[in-house]
Amino acid sequence: MTGNSYYYRKLHSLLGVIPVGMFLLEHMYTNFLATISPERYQQQVAWLTGLPLVLLLEIFLIWLPLLYHGVYGLYVAFQARNNPTSYSFFRNQMFIWQRITGVITFLFVVWHFAETRLQVALGNVEKDQLGALIHDILSNPIALAVYVIAVIAASFHFCNGMWAFLVSWGITVGPKAQRISTYVWMGAFVIMSSMFVAALIAFSGDEFQGNIGLLLNSLLG
């Protein structure tokens, strides 16, 4: 792996933005619609699950890239070391937290997938019951706390990863550009975290209790 590590890292970095990062943003948007109403959330889910060849799209544009990014990211996390002589204390702290949040995010995604999408694939839960399923999960205060930690970790990992992506791909090359990029992506982190947490609060509310499948069936006519 050593001889090709440059290309492995570049692929890992690129997949973290396209398509994994784009999937995270879409997931954030879809879940945030729950803050508007269960109806608006279910409309978006119905549209997504109704896309042509949706299973192939999920496999090749989400799960395989995510698997590579996650597994190789774990390897990097346990191999990498901070560099206090070349980078500032702040950058080294961001480097450390990038690794920590990456591990948290990967473990959470595996757990979340097993609780939700895998259950749909196994036929244990209908697709139109996902909203109610997530409501049931988040009704547990411990599960809700884990989800809050995880979405904040995922938001940080993506936003700080975008800062690193722009540097490593030669887009922000100077100190001024990198400083501005820090402000931009930390602001994005606050916005993303807030939207995710707001969605979790919405899912845990009474509006998502019960059989939302009846609602989706009526929307689909």
Predicted TM-score (pTM) of this structure:
0.88
pLDDT score for 83: 59
pLDDT score for 214: 37
Determine phi and psi for 170, rounding to 5 degrees.
75, 25
pLDDT score for 85: 55
pLDDT score for 147: 96
pLDDT score for 176: 96
Low-confidence ranges of the chain (pLDDT < 70): 1-3, 81-87, 209-221
Neighbours of 138 (CB within 10 A): 21
Q: Which CATH number characterizes residue 39's domain?
A: 1.20.1300.10
Angle at 203 between CA 116 and CA 53, to 5 degrees: 40
Count of structural domains, the chain: 1
Q: Which domain holds residue 27?
A: 5-220
Phi-psi region of 87 (alpha: psi -120 to 50; beta: other; left: phi over 0): beta
pLDDT score for 221: 36
pLDDT score for 201: 93
